[in-house]
A and B are shown apart, each in its own frame.
Chain A
C-alpha cells in the first residue's frame, strides 16, 4: 500500500515480530510492555466505543483499529510538558497522555465535558475540521519558543489532511520560524473513500516537507518502536532549536472510517485482509513472546485488565448526570453577558 516510488519506511520490527535491526535503547522490556498495554487498551476501548454506538449509547465514533502504534508511539515519545494536538482518531495518544476513557466516551457521546481533561490540562481537544489544528501547533510552538521553554507541540493528522492549505501553511511557517513543532501524519491509506493515491501525486507524504524546507522522517506506522523513535528524535530536535519535523507514519485503517461509514462501498475485503498481517498489536506481541518472555497468562491478564478498565469506564460514563440545558450558555464567554443571561432564562 505504499505509493509508487517510495522507499521502504523505516522499521525495527517486521510484521512477523522479528527484529530487523538493533532496537533503540529506550526499547527495553518495561517500555515495550507499556506500549503493548497501551495499544491493547486502545483496541479494547475502540471495540467498546463501537459497541456503545451500535446500541445507541454513543454518537458517531472513529475507531483507530490498526493504527494504535502510531497513536501510542507518538504519545509515548512526548514528555509531560509537551502539548498534544490530536485529530479525531487518536484515542491511543490521548489515553497515554492521561485523558480518561470516561472523558473520551463523554465527548463521543455528545457532551462537552469530555474535552475538559482532568489529566493533560494543556493538551488540545479533538480536532474535527481536517488539518485546521496544524496551524495551532505552530502557534503553540511559537509561544514555547518565545518563552524560551524546552517544550514541543505535537500535532497528528491523517493523510487526507496533507491536502489542505492549513497543513502547508503550518509547516511553512514552522520551518521559516524554526518552531519546536512536530507534525505526525497517520497515513492510513484512506480519507473516507479516497485512497492516498488519489489524494496526492507526491510519492510519499514525507516529501511534502521538502517544499517547506523542514526535516522529515517516514516510518512504518505499525511498528510502535519506529514511531516512538522518529517522534522522539523530532522532539529532541525541536527542543534544541533545530526546527520542526514532519513524520509520516505508514499504517492502514482496518475498520470503517467511522461508525456511519460502510467501507465495502469503496474498497475490497481482500485489500483489508491483506493488511491484517501487518497490524501493530500482534506484531509487538510476537516480538514480546519471542524475546521478552511474554506468556499466555501475561496476555490473558492484560486483556482482562483492559476489559475491566474500559468496562468500568463505560459504567461510570453511563452513570454521569446529564448536562442541564442551561449549561450550553455557561462557557460562551468568561462571564455571562446580560444579553445571554436573558436568553438563558428563556430556556425553561
Chain B
C-alpha cells in the first residue's frame, strides 16, 4: 500500500462516502474542474458528475446557508471553504442555524452538514490565508469541531463527520496537506468523533495539542526523551465535544500539562482545556499548566509567521519549565 498525503486521505474519504451515499454532495469554490486549490477534490467531478460536485459562485454565506437547506432536506452536503480566513461569512449560518436547527425544532429538522476548510499557517501564504480560528467555533453550542493531524485520522474522522447526524466544522492543517504521509487503508471505517488520540505514552508531562502543531509536539517529545523527560502526547483532534477524560487521566498520571496551539492564546481552546484541568485535576498537578500558543497579534504576513507559530524550541522551553517547577 502506498503512502498517502493528508490531502489525498481527505479525497479518499470524500470519494468513499460519495460512492456509498448518493445524498452526499460537495459544494465549494473551484472544487470542480480545478479539483480545489489544494486538490482535495481532484478527480471527483469527473467521477461523480457536476450535479454532486458543484462549483459555487464566490458566496461563503450562501455556501453555508445552502448547506443548511440541503441538510434539512436529508441531503449530506460537504462544503469546502477555500481558506479558513474566508469562513467568517459562514459564521452567521453556522451559529444561528446549523448548530441549532435540531434544538429549535425539537429534532424535527436536523443539520448533518460538514464544512471543510484548510487552517493554519506555515505555507507562506498571502494575508488572511494562515489564521487558526477554531476557538470561534468551539464556542458555538451544537457544532462539532474536528481538526485532524495525520492522513489516517483525517480519513477516518472525515468519514464519521459526513456520516454523522450533526453539523461539523472540519479543519485541515494546511501545512500538513502534502508533508504528512501515511499508509491509509481505504477500508471505509470511520473513527469515532468522541475520543482523543494518545500518540505517545509517557509519565512526566502531558502535551496536549491538535492540528499542525502535533508535528512540533512529536519532535518535542523525542527531544524531551533525550533529556530524560517522558512525554505523553495527546492529539485532541476532536475539540468539540471534547473527550476530556483522556486528558484528565493523563494529567492525573503525569501531574504536568503543556497545551500547544497556533491560534492566539487569549480565549484560545487551550484556555478551555487549562480550565478543565484546574477544575477536574487540580490536585494531581505538580506544576502550573503552561500554554504555548500564538501571540495576541494579527497573524503576521509570511516574513514573520515563523516567529509567531509555536515551534519545537518553544514547546521544549515550556516542558523544561514545568519539569523544573518546584
- Which A residues fall within an 8 A CB radius of B? 59-60, 88, 107-112, 126, 128-131, 160-161, 163-165, 191-194, 198-200, 260-261, 265-266, 322-323, 325, 327-329, 331-332, 339-340, 343-344, 347
Q: State the main secondary structure of chain A at its contact with B.
A: loop
Q: How far does the Cβ of B260 sit from chain A's closest Cβ, in whole Å?
A: 14
Q: Report yes or no: A199 in contact with B33, Cβ–Cβ below 8 A.
A: no
What residues on B are CB-neighbors of A109 within 8 Å?
A: 302-303
Number of residues of chain B lying within 8 A (CB) of chain A: 37
Q: Report yes or no: A59 in contact with B86, Cβ–Cβ below 8 A.
A: no
CA distance A295 to B29 in the complex (A): 46
CA distance A194 to B28 in the complex (A): 11
Q: Report yes or no: B307 in contact with A325, Cβ–Cβ below 8 A.
A: yes
Q: Which of B137-145, B251-259, B291-299 is near enough to bind chain A?
A: B291-299
Contact residue among B30, B125, B297, B305 (Cβ-Cβ distance under 8 Å from A194): B30
What residues on A are CB-neighbors of B60 within 8 Å?
A: 164
Q: Which of B219-234 contact A (CB under 8 A)?
A: none
Per-residue contact bits, chain B 37-51, to A (CB 8 Å; 1 contact, 0 not): 100000000000000
Q: What are the 9 closest A-B residue pairs judged by CB atoms, nearest first?
A: A110-B302, A163-B57, A193-B34, A325-B307, A110-B301, A110-B303, A160-B58, A266-B33, A328-B300
Given A110-B301, A112-B301, residue A347 in contact with residue B295 (CB < 8 A): yes
What residues on B are CB-neighbors of A88 within 8 Å?
A: 126
Q: Report yes or no: A59 in contact with B125, Cβ–Cβ below 8 A.
A: yes
What residues on A are CB-neighbors of B297 within 8 Å?
A: 328-329, 332, 340, 343
B129 and chain A: residue at smallest CB distance: A128
| B188 part of interface (Cβ distance < 8 Å) | no
B88 and chain A: residue at smallest CB distance: A129
Between A and B, 20 residue pairs with Cβ closer than 8 Å are A60-B124, A108-B126, A110-B301, A110-B302, A110-B304, A112-B300, A112-B301, A128-B129, A129-B86, A129-B128, A131-B58, A160-B57, A164-B58, A164-B59, A164-B61, A164-B89, A194-B58, A198-B55, A261-B37, A266-B33
CA distance A107 to B127 in the complex (A): 9
Contact residue among A165, A199, A328, A329 (Cβ-Cβ distance under 8 Å from B89): A165
A200-B57, A265-B34 provided; 18 other pairs, C-beta below 8 A?
A60-B126, A107-B301, A128-B128, A128-B129, A129-B88, A165-B62, A191-B58, A192-B29, A194-B29, A199-B57, A266-B33, A325-B304, A328-B308, A332-B296, A332-B298, A343-B265, A343-B295, A343-B297
Q: Which of B132-150 contact A (CB under 8 A)?
A: none
Q: How far does the Cβ of B294 sit from chain A's closest Cβ, in whole Å?
A: 10
| B118 part of interface (Cβ distance < 8 Å) | no
Q: Which of B274-324 contact A (CB under 8 A)?
A: 295-298, 300-305, 307-308
CA distance A184 to B244 in the complex (A): 52
What residues on B are CB-neighbors of A325 within 8 Å?
A: 304, 307
Q: How far does the Cβ of B219 sit from chain A's closest Cβ, in whole Å?
A: 19
| B85 part of interface (Cβ distance < 8 Å) | yes
What residues on A are CB-neighbors of B126 within 8 Å?
A: 59-60, 88, 108, 128
What residues on A are CB-neighbors of B129 within 8 Å?
A: 128
What residues on A are CB-neighbors of B55 within 8 Å?
A: 193-194, 198
Q: How far does the Cβ of A125 sit from chain B's closest Cβ, in whole Å?
A: 9
CA distance A325 to B305 in the complex (A): 9
What residues on B are CB-neighbors of A340 within 8 Å?
A: 295-297
CA distance A312 to B233 in the complex (A): 51
Q: Report yes or no: A329 in contact with B295, Cβ–Cβ below 8 A.
A: yes
CA distance A322 to B32 in the complex (A): 40
A111 and chain B: residue at smallest CB distance: B303
CA distance A228 to B264 in the complex (A): 45
A88 and chain B: residue at smallest CB distance: B126
Q: Report yes or no: B34 in contact with A328, Cβ–Cβ below 8 A.
A: no
| B167 part of interface (Cβ distance < 8 Å) | no
What residues on B are CB-neighbors of A332 within 8 Å?
A: 296-298
CA distance A338 to B199 in the complex (A): 37
CA distance A131 to B29 in the complex (A): 15
Q: How far does the Cβ of B136 sit from chain A's closest Cβ, in whole Å?
A: 15
Q: Report yes or no: A193 in contact with B298, Cβ–Cβ below 8 A.
A: no
What residues on A are CB-neighbors of B57 within 8 Å?
A: 160, 163, 191, 194, 198-200
What residues on B are CB-neighbors of A110 within 8 Å?
A: 124, 301-305
What residues on A are CB-neighbors of B304 within 8 Å?
A: 110, 323, 325, 327-328
| B35 part of interface (Cβ distance < 8 Å) | yes
CA distance A206 to B86 in the complex (A): 26
CA distance A112 to B59 in the complex (A): 28
CA distance A217 to B115 in the complex (A): 38
Q: Report yes or no: B124 in contact with A192, Cβ–Cβ below 8 A.
A: no
B308 and chain A: residue at smallest CB distance: A328
Q: Report yes or no: A192 in contact with B34, Cβ–Cβ below 8 A.
A: yes
CA distance A88 to B126 in the complex (A): 10
Q: How far does the Cβ of B27 sit from chain A's closest Cβ, in whole Å?
A: 13
Given A193-B55, A328-B307, residue A59 in contact with residue B302 (CB < 8 A): yes
Q: How far does the Cβ of B53 sit from chain A's closest Cβ, in whole Å?
A: 13
What residues on A are CB-neighbors of B307 within 8 Å?
A: 325, 328, 347
Q: How far does the Cβ of A300 sit from chain B's closest Cβ, in whole Å?
A: 35
CA distance A60 to B129 in the complex (A): 11
Q: How far does the Cβ of B256 sit from chain A's closest Cβ, in whole Å?
A: 19
Q: Report yes or no: A165 in contact with B296, Cβ–Cβ below 8 A.
A: no
Given A112-B300, A129-B128, A322-B303, residue A163 in contact with residue B58 (CB < 8 A): yes
A322 and chain B: residue at smallest CB distance: B303
CA distance A107 to B302 in the complex (A): 10
